Chain A
Amino acid sequence: MGRYALRRLLMLVPTLVGMSVLIFLMLRLLPGDVVDLVAGADPSSGSAAREQLREAMGLADPIPVQYLRWLGGIIQGDPGTSIRSGQPVGELLLRSLPITVELAVLATLIATLVAIPLGVLSAVKRDTGWDFAARVGGLIGLSLPSFWIATLALLFTSKVFGWVPPTRYVSPFADPAGNLRQMILPAFALAVQLMAIEMRLTRTTMLEVLNQDYIRTARAKGLRERPVVYRHALRNALIPVVTVVGFQLGALMGTSAIVEVIFGLNGVGYTLLQAIFNRDYPLVQAATLYLATIFVLINLAVDIGYAFLDPRIEQA
C-alpha cells in the first residue's frame, strides 16, 4: 500500500513537469507578442524602447532559460507579476482560490446528496416508471448547460424575489448564512451535470452489485431487503462512485469559470478568463498551472484512496 502511494507520488513529478512545459510553450509559441501588448499601440515607442522592454522582461533570453526561470520562480512561490495590474500573480490567485474551492465542494455535496438516493431507487426499482423517469432525467441533466441554468436561476430570483446574489465574496467564516445565500445558486447550477453523472453511475454499479453472489447469500440467509440493499450492496456499489466524484470535483474547478462569470464571483476561473482577455500572460500561465495541479492532486488522492477502499487495485 505504502509502496503504491509512493510510486504514484513519484509519477506525479514527470506529469507536473510535462504540464508546465506544455503551458509555457503554448504561451510562447502562439501568435502575439507580449511586448506589443505592454508597449501598447503607442506609436512613439520606437524599436529601441521595445528592445529595452523585451530585455527588462527577460523575453530576449532563449526559451529554455525563460522556462527554467519561470519554474524556479514557481518553486520559490513567486509565479510572476501581472502585466495588467502589476500585482504579484501568486497573491491574486490565492485570493480567488477559496471561492472556486468552496463552489466546487458545495456543488459536489449538493449533487451527491440528491444523486445517490435517486440512483439506488432507480436500480432497486429496475424497469419501473421510477427507473425510466430517473434514466431520462439523468440524460436531460447531462444535456443542461450549466451557464443556462445559472442564467435562468438569476432571472428567476430577480423576477420573483427582486433579489440577486451580491458579487462581493462573503467568507463562510465571517458570515455563514450570507455566504450560503450567495453561493447556493451558483453551486446548484454547477451541480446539475454532476448530479446526472453520479445518478447514472450509482444505478449501474448498484445493478451490478445486486447481481453478485454475496447478495444472493445475504438474501438466502433471510436478511430483510433493507439491510441487503444498504449494507451489502450500496457500500460496494459506492466505491466506483467515490472515484468519479473525486475526478469530477477536480474538473468542476475548471467548469466553475462560467458560473463564476455569470454570478460575478472573483474565483480562479474568472481570473483566468479576465487574464486571457487582457492577454495577461503571466497570470494565464500561473492560473492554468494552478488549476491543472489541483486537478492532478485531487486525482492522485482519489487513486490512492481507491486503493485503500479496494485492495484488489494494488496489484495493477
Chain B
Amino acid sequence: MGTSTRSADDPQGQTRAQAPTHPRAEAEAPAQASTQAEVEGPTGSTAPAQDRPRPLALGRAGRPARPWWKPSARWKNPIGLVGAAIVALTILVAVAAPLLAPYDPDAQDADRLLPPSGAHLMGTDELGRDTFSRIVFGARVSLQVGIVAVAIALLAGTALGIAAGFFGGRLDAWLMRGVDILFAFPGLVLAIVIAGLLGASRTNAMIAIGVVYAPAFARVIRGSVLAVMSEPYVDAGRVVGATNGRLVRRHVLPNIVAPVIVMTSVYLSSAILSEAALSFLGLGTQPPEPSWGGMLNLARTYMELAPWMAIFPGLAIMLVVLGFNFLGDGLRDVLDPRLRTS
C-alpha cells in the first residue's frame, strides 16, 4: 500500500514541502533527488510532485547523486522509447515498402480470400490481393495523410496563434472568436462534412483533418505565446529596438517549441485515426489504393468468410497510433514536466 507507508514518512514530507520553493535547493538535495525529484526538480518548482515522496525513493535515501555523465532519469522513459521504436519501424516500413512487400499491392490473383499461410502471411482479399503487401503500402498512406494534415494544422495554428498572442487586442479577440466557433463543432462531424463536400479523396481528407485540428494548435500556441510575452526578456528585446519579426523569431518561437512538439506527436496519432475513419466511411483514400481504413471497410462484406481481412488492418492502425501515443506521452514527460498526465 503506497499511501499508508506515506503517512509514516510525513515529517520528512513536510520539511521538503516547505524547503524547496527555490528550484536550486531541490536539485542540490542529493538524497531525495535520486528518482522522483529529478524528474520534477529543475523546472517543476510548482509541480505538486515535490512533496510526494515515493516510498521507493525514501527506502534508498542514502543513494549517491547521479554522476554528470549519465543521462538524467527523465530521459529513461520506457514508454516513450517503445513509442519511438514503433514510430521508427513504421517510417522504415513506409520508406522501404517496395522492398518489404512480397507482392504488388494491386496485383489481382485467382487465389481469392485465402487464409494466412507461408505464401500469403496475412491471407488474400476478395480480389486475390496479398493483404500483407497492402498493409505495408498502407503505411505510406497513413503516414502521408497524418504528416500532411498535422503540417497544415501546425502552420495555420502557428500563424493564427502567434498573431493573436503577439499582437493581442482586437485582432486576438476576433481570431479567438473564430477559433471558438470552429471548436464548437464535434471534430469528426466537421471532418466528415468538409471531406464529403470537397469530394471523397485522399487530398481532401488531409485538408479536412488539417482544418479541424488547426484551432487546437492555435489555442495552445496562443497560450504559450502569451506566457512568453510576459517574460522580461521580451521587454528587454523591445528596449534595445528589436523589430517584431526579430522578437517572434528569436524570442517567441524558440520558447514555444516544447509544447508544440508534444502536441504534434499526439495529433499525429489522432490524424492517422481520423484518416482511417474517413477512409473507412469511403470519404478518404479511394480504392484500389491500399489504406488501412478502406481495407477494413471492404473486410466487413467478407468478414464471415475471411476474418483475417478485418483483423490485420485494424492491428496495423492500432500499433501505429499506439506508437505515436506512447511517444507523445514520453515526450511530455521529458520536455514539459508541468504537463505530465501520468
Contact = CB atoms under 8 A, between A and B. Distances in A.
Interface of A: 14-15, 18-19, 22-23, 26-27, 30-32, 124-128, 135-136, 139-140, 142-145, 147-148, 151-152, 154-155, 158-159, 200-201, 203-204, 207-208, 210-211, 216, 219-220, 225, 228-229, 250-251, 253-255, 257-258, 261-262, 269, 272-273, 276-277, 284, 288, 291-292, 295-296, 299
Given A136-B79, A145-B276, A158 B304 contact: yes
A258 B300 CA distance: 13
A18 B185 CA distance: 11
A255 B79 CA distance: 28
B186 A251 contact: yes
Interface string B4-46: 1001001001000000000000000000000000000000000
Nearest to B7: A219
Contact of A125 (B2, B184, B283, B321): B2
B194 A26 contact: yes
Interface residues of B, number: 61
Given A145-B317, A155-B307, A254-B188, 7 more contacts: A142-B321, A143-B273, A151-B314, A154-B300, A269-B189, A272-B189, A273-B281
A124 B56 contact: no
B277 interface: yes
B300 to A, nearest CB: 6
Nearest to B196: A276
B322 A140 contact: yes
Contacts of B334: none
B186 A30 contact: no
B180 interface: yes
A253 B192 CA distance: 13
Interface in B178-223: 178, 180-182, 184-189, 192-194, 196-199
A18 B181 contact: yes
Contact of B342 (A19, A200, A251, A272): A200
B186 A295 contact: yes
A135 B186 contact: no
A253 B186 contact: yes
A216 B51 CA distance: 11
A219 to B, nearest CB: 5
B10 A257 contact: no
18 contacts: A15-B181, A19-B185, A23-B193, A26-B193, A143-B269, A143-B325, A148-B317, A151-B296, A151-B300, A151-B314, A155-B310, A254-B189, A255-B186, A257-B189, A273-B196, A276-B197, A291-B189, A295-B186
Contact of A145 (B51, B182, B189, B273): B273
A114 to B, nearest CB: 19
Contacts of A126: 2, 54
Contacts of B311: 152
Closest 10 interchain pairs by CB? A254-B186, A148-B314, A276-B196, A254-B189, A143-B322, A18-B181, A143-B321, A30-B197, A211-B48, A219-B7
Interface in B290-342: 293, 296, 299-300, 303-304, 307, 310-311, 314, 317-319, 321-322, 325-326, 329, 340-342
B1 interface: yes
A103 B19 CA distance: 52
B132 interface: no
Interface string B279-294: 0111100000000010
A269 B184 CA distance: 17
A155 B306 CA distance: 10
A125 B184 CA distance: 38
A85 B7 CA distance: 68
B177 interface: yes
A295 B48 contact: no
A234 B246 CA distance: 48
Contacts of A284: 193, 196-197
Given A19-B181, A158-B304, A296-B184, A139 B193 contact: no
B47 to A, nearest CB: 10
Contacts of B341: 200-201, 204
Contacts of B277: 145, 147, 258
A211 B296 contact: no
A94 B21 CA distance: 58
B186 A262 contact: no
Contacts of B194: 26
A15 B317 CA distance: 35
A127 B56 contact: yes
